[in-house]
Amino acid sequence: MRIRGGCGQAFGNIASRGAFVQIVYFISGFIASRAAVFGSYAPFGISIMAAAPFKNMLASVFGAAIGYCTISGTGNTIRYVTAMIALAAIRWTLNDIARIRKSKLFAPIITFMALIATGLAMMSVSGFSGRSMVLYMIEAVLGSSGAYFLSRTITISYGTKSLGMLSIPEISCLVLSLCIMILSFSSITIGSLSIGRILSVVAILFCARYGSISGGAIAGISAGIVMSLSSSEMSFLAGSYAFGGLMAGMFSTAGRLASAIAFILCNGIISMQTGDLTLVILGLYEVLAASLIFIILPKDTGRFLGAIFMEKDSDTRCEG
């Protein structure tokens, strides 16, 4: 009876763990599909579908489908659902060919194919134009890049490496994948303040605090690039987040307050170049809100990041 009970308990644990993983991919598909660039293009739901393990693909499909059907500000829902069907068919067909399936380029290539094919199909209906062609091409490149980062992150999560053994490229993939997920919250606002941008700054400050220069630079560049794609008005974020993350990392040894002040000042300096006082003030409020969250959170919050960046930061300083 004990043996049976033990086997039943083990089976139950495996089943519950499997169900939890499926839920994670469902939520990831939903979140990624709502991460829009240029205001109306949302390629990352296709990216997570391509990156997910085959046994978890269906969960990501359902999550992304719901996300695409409920997202506002884009009229491409039918197109994205069509791209999902095309990508699922490609994966189903090629899944038995291990050499292709295990290639690092498999997810990016099929994502690019699905997005560009459906983009061309849309233009055949609505009419060809140079601008639309360029935008569809950029979207396909962004989607394939997202698929690469997400697939590498998933591979890392299933690996046996500890956090301290991750290389700089692997850390960059993790951070970029996180930024893609945070991008979906950029359109969610409290008043005029973007939840996504506030979360991005909080993440940069924590990476800078515990990862010093390398942590702040990697997080700042990654978050800045991703968030600047949300709208043409936010293109200045690429520079302000990158510069702010770098300087926040340089002042990280002086404590959280000094690191936050460094980021606020650097972000403000770069933001002034936009010439739009409304955006400057809005950005200042978002950075202040993020800095307040960063300062008041418990002291040990984010300490695990030190294990990720510590050794790499030492190497960077020695090389510098």
Helix ranges (DSSP H) in 95-194: 98-101, 106-126, 130-158, 168-183
Comparing 12-26, 80-94, 166-180, the range with the smallest average pLDDT is: 12-26
**Amino acid code (one letter) for 130:** G
Three-state DSSP at 113 gives helix
Q: What local confidence, expressed as pLDDT, does residue 116 receive?
A: 92
CA distances from 24 to 203, 256, 258, 269 (A): 21, 32, 36, 39
Mean pLDDT over each residue of the chain, to the nearest integer: 83
How many Cβ atoms sit within 10 Å of the Cβ of residue 319? Answer: 6
How many Cβ atoms sit within 10 Å of the Cβ of residue 145? Answer: 18
In sequence order, what are the beta bridge partners of 41?
37
Comparing 64-68, 76-80, 190-194, 229-233, the range with the smallest average pLDDT is: 229-233
Contact indicator for 13, 109 with CB cutoff of 8 Å: no
pTM equals 0.79
Q: What local confidence, expressed as pLDDT, does residue 304 receive?
A: 62
Q: What local confidence, expressed as pLDDT, does residue 63 receive?
A: 92
pLDDT at 11 > cutoff 50: no
152 or 96, which is more confident: 152
pLDDT in tens, 289-303: 999 999 998 877 766
pLDDT in tens, 141-170: 999 999 999 999 998 888 766 666 777 788
Query: For residue 35, which phi and psi values (nearest 5 degrees)?
Result: -90, 100
Contact indicator for 104, 153 with CB cutoff of 8 Å: no
Query: For residue 91, which phi and psi values (nearest 5 degrees)?
Result: -65, -40
72 conformational bin, left if phi > 0, alpha if psi -120 to 50, beta if neither: beta
